Amino acid sequence: MGEVDALLDAVVAAGERGDPVAPIIDAARFTPVRLREGYDMGEVDRFLTELKGGVAVVSDDPGVVQEQRGLVDRLLERLRAR
């Protein structure tokens, strides 16, 4: 999540300066997460593709990219539900 958030901060800063954002997005590489919380990779990829194409609108809506909980959290939730 931190890597995605840092990229979005860099994209916003570049946009505010009037710099192109596509090179920043193209250079981005994220560490996949398995047992920690993170964003859904497909949603992030789709959002960045839209952003690069000028289609995405950055908003204050926290639902733009949904957080995906890690495997451990999901397993613990299932155990608590029993």
Q: Note the pLDDT tens digit of each residue in 26-67.
A: 999 998 877 778 888 888 898 898 888 775 554 455 555 555
Query: What global pTM score does this model have?
Result: 0.63
Residue spans of the domains in the chain: they are 2-81
Both structure tokens of 15: 């946009």
Distant-in-sequence, close-in-space partners of 37: CB < 8 Å, separation ≥ 6: 1, 67, 68, 69, 70, 73
Cβ(24)–Cβ(11) under 8 Å?
yes
